[in-house]
Amino acid sequence: MHLTVLGASGATGQQLIQQALDRGHTVTAVARDPDRLPATGHDDQLIRVRADVRDTDAIGRALKDATTIISALGIPSRDQVGVLTAGARGAVAAVPERIIWMGAFGTGASAAAAGALTRTLLRAMGAELTDKVTADTTILDAGGTVFHCGPLSAGPLSEHRRTVDLSQAPHRLFPARVSRATVAAALLDAAETPDLPGGTYVPLDR
């Protein structure tokens, strides 16, 4: 497959790209600074594209021919709030065949499953929370697939990893941590499953 990855230079994005290349896919990696991407061992399968999702023209050019867009975008600092919404709108405007989006457990559709304490803590995020929910809603309204992840860790790809529908998500006081490697694998699994219906899913280490 030819996959287009947003947020390619972030920690999860780098995991996503390496795993996609290892699986034999071709990847267009879109990032504000693609020079930050490390060597992958598959550079003949990797296309680096410089674009900021907040630059409508630049992201439009970057996504023009995309068929499957996978987002590993995050909000690295408070002055970048709005990145997720801008990225979601850019992805939808490109009209790809598939959009697969990384979101946060406890926001939007998964708020009820996260419990009252987690919801209270997340509300303190203010504009960041609004950005996350707006982006998710944009993707879901376009028929895309959203993955709501618990707190991300640098752990290895779990041998016991699984992905569940939001209705099957474990109810916990705090969301379970999940490794970035496991999240990347779940996003790729979704890309490789063309009949997976749009909706909200939860990747788990076990």
CA distance from start to end of the chain: 28
For the question of whether the overall pTM of this predicted structure is more than 0.85, the answer is yes
**Residue 15: per-residue pLDDT:** 96
Strand partners, 149: 104
Counting every residue, how long is the chain? 206
pLDDT digits (tens, 9 = 90+) for 65-110: 999 999 999 987 777 899 999 999 999 999 999 999 999 998 989 9
Interatomic CA distance for residues 146 and 1, integer angstroms? 20
Q: Which residues pair with 3 in a beta bridge?
A: 27, 68
DSSP secondary structure letters along 70-138: EE-----SGGGTTHHHHHHHHHHHT--SEEEEEEETTSGGGHHHH-HHHHHHHHTTTHHHHHHHHHHHH
According to the per-residue pLDDT averaged within each range, which of 89-93, 110-114, 171-175 is highest?
Answer: 89-93
Q: Are 70 and 5 in contact (CB under 8 A)?
A: yes
CA distance 77 to 64: 28
> Residue 160's pLDDT is what?
97
Answer yes or no: are the C-beta atoms of 183 and 147 closer than 8 Å: yes
